[in-house]
Amino acid sequence: GQQLNQSPQSMFIQEGEDVSMNCTSSSIFNTWLWYKQDPGEGPVLLIALYKAGELTSNGRLTAQFGITRKDSFLNISASIPSDVGIYFCAGFTSGTYKYIFGTGTRLKVLA
């Protein structure tokens, strides 16, 4: 099936560092979603974006809806060990039930 290109695939960072990841698509979306998934658990919705150019924060997390509607970015500031997990994006178009998912970014935080 169709997937979104998400980068980086994985990253090791030091505690306290900022993290950035992004998703790109050849299609436009009118909703972008960002999730975190811990091993053996279901994905948890972190941030939802609805408008091109929108910048939304959730605590130390900030996400942006790209102006072209074909990309989105997630930033985590001052990372902590519990930020470890897999982060993935999803794009959605209203009126469909099609969610296209990113390939995931595995984050490991070194204390």
Do residues 21 and 105 lie in contact, with contact meaning Cβ atoms separated by under 8 Å? yes
Q: How far is the CB of 41 from other proteins (least distance, A)?
A: 6
Sorted by sequence, the CB contacts under 8 Å of residue 80 that are 6+ apart come out as: 15, 109
Cβ closer to other proteins: 21 or 90? 90
Q: Is beta strand 10-14 parallel, antiparallel or unpaired with respect to 105-110? A: parallel
41 burial level (CB within 10 Å; 0-12, 13-18, 19+)? exposed
CB of 92 to other proteins, least distance (A): 4
Radius of gyration of the chain (CA): 13
Strand partners, 39: none
Smallest gap from Cβ 18 to other proteins, in A, equals 26
Instruction: Between 43 and 76, name the residue whose CB sits nearer to other proteins.
Output: 43
Binding site for other proteins (CB under 8 A): 1, 3, 30-31, 33, 35, 40-45, 48, 50, 90, 92-95, 97-99, 101, 103-104
Nearest distance from residue 27's CB to other proteins, in Å? 14
Q: Which is nearer to other proteins, 82 or 94 (CB)?
A: 94
4 vs 76 by CB, closer to other proteins: 4
